[in-house]
Amino acid sequence: MNVALCPRMAFRGVIGGFAFFAIGALAGCSKAAPAEPSSNLETVPVTSIPGHESLLEDTSRKSEARLIPQETLIRNYLSIFGGLSPIDLQTRLRAGSTNLFDSWTDYLGALGFPNYESDLPRASRTNALMLASFERIGVALCDKAAEADLGKNARALTDRTVFRFEMPAAAAPLDTQGFTQRFDVLHRTFLSYPVALAPSDRVTNFFALYKDILARHQARDAGVFTSTPAQSAWAAVCYGLVRHPEFHLY
C-alpha cells in the first residue's frame, strides 16, 4: 500500500477536520494546497511512515450476511416443523381457533418472494413487514409444535419434530445445565451450531425468558391457558430462535 507524502490527503477522509489541521501543520502542508491529490505526487509504502511499521492488515474477504432465499426459508419451516407439504402444514396451522396463520399465499409478498407475473423482483433485504411476517409465521409454527411435542397429549419422544427432549418431572424445575442441554437441541436445529459457540449471554438470556414465561403461567389459574406452563415457556424460546437474525441470514 502506498500513500502520498502529504498525509493531509491520505488521512483527510478518515480523521476529520480537526486532525486534518493538526497533521497538516505537522507535515508542513500548506492550507492553500489543492483539495485533490495530483497524479505526480510521490508515493511511499505505508509501512515507511513512522508508527506504521508493524501495521496489521485484514486481507480476508468481507461481506455482509445474506438473507436466506425465500424458497429456502419455506423449506426450512417445512423440514424443521414436521416434513409436511406446504398445504398440509397450512391446514395444520389453521386448525383450531387460534387464527394465527392465514395462508402461504397471503405471506409470499411480505416474505419477499418475486412475482414473475408482475416482474416484481425478489427482496434481498429485510423490511418491517417482512419481519412481522417472520414473527407471525414463527409464532404459529412454534405454538403448534409445542402443543404436539410438549402438550397434554404429547407425542412420543421419537416422534417429536422440534422439541426432541424429555421434560423434567412437573415438580422439578430446570437448572441452567438442564436448560442448556435442551436449548442446545433447539439451537442446533434452528441456527445450525452448538450453543456453546454462541455469544456467552445467549443461554442466560433465553433461560431468563424461559423462567419468566414459566413463572407468569404458573402464577395464574391453570384454567386460563390451554397450554401447560412449560409448554408455553418452551414455545417462547422457539419464538426467539425462529425469528432470530441468524435463522434468516447466512
Partner 1 sequence: MPFPSSTASRRPRALRPPLAPRNHRWPALAVLSVGFFEAQNAAAAPPILSLQDYRAFRSLSVDLQGRLPTLSELDARESSGFSLNGFVDDRLQAGTYASTLRRVYMDRLRLDLSSAFQYVPAANTLRRYAVTTESGASVPVYFRAGQRRQRPETDGVFCLTEAESGLRFPPNAAAVGTAKPVSQAALDAATVLVKPWWLYRDYTTASPTQRFGSNWPESTANFLPAPLLLKENGATDTTFVRVCREEAQATPTGPVMLTRRTPVASGISPPFGRYSQLPLDSGYATAHPTEVLDCTSGLALPNSSACGCGQGLERCIPGTTYNNDPPGFVLPTNSVLGEHMPLGTATGSRSSWSRYWWGEEAAQFLERSFGEDRDVRSLLVGKGTWVNGPLAAFYKFGAGVSWGTGREQAFAYTSPLPVIEPSALPSLAIHDTDSWLPITDRGPNAAGLLTMPIFLTKYATRRARAHAVYQAFLCKDFVAANVALSPSEDPDLAKRPGCSGCHTILEPMSAYFARNVESTWTWLPISNFPVDAPMCRKQGNGSVNASCPTFYDSSFATTSSSFLKGAYGSPANADRGPAGLGADVAASPDFARCVVSTVADALMPGGLGEGDSLASASFTKTFVENGYRIRPLLRAMFTSDIYRSTSNLSSAAWRAAEAP
Smallest Cα–Cα separation from 111: which of 68, 144, 64? 68
Smallest Cα–Cα separation from 186: which of 232, 105, 127, 247? 247
Burial of residue 209 (number of CB atoms within 10 Å: 0-12, 13-18, 19+): middle
Q: Taking a C-beta distance cutoff of 8 angstroms, is the pair 228, 176 a contact?
A: no
Please give the DSSP secondary-structure letter assigned to residue 195.
G
Q: Taking a C-beta distance cutoff of 8 angstroms, is the pair 248, 134 a contact?
A: yes
Please give the DSSP secondary-structure letter assigned to residue 72.
H
Please give the DSSP secondary-structure letter assigned to residue 84.
-
Nearer to partner 1, 20 or 190 (CB): 190
Instruction: Give the binding site for partner 1 (CB under 8 A).
Output: 1-2, 45-47, 55-66, 68-72, 74-76, 79-80, 85-87, 90, 103-105, 108, 113-114, 116-119, 121-122, 157-158, 160, 164-166, 177, 180-182, 184-185, 188-190, 192-197, 199-200, 250
Q: Cβ 216 to partner 1, closest distance in Å?
A: 25
Nearer to partner 1, 184 or 227 (CB): 184
**Residue 218: CB atoms within 10 Å:** 14
Nearest-10 crossing angle of helices 70-80, 128-150: 10
What is the rounded distance in angstroms from the CA atom of residue 233 to the CA atom of residue 143?
10
What is the rounded distance in angstroms from the CA atom of residue 3 to the CA atom of residue 150?
64
What is the rounded distance in angstroms from the CA atom of residue 154 to the CA atom of residue 228?
11
Grid cell in block for residue 148: 404436539
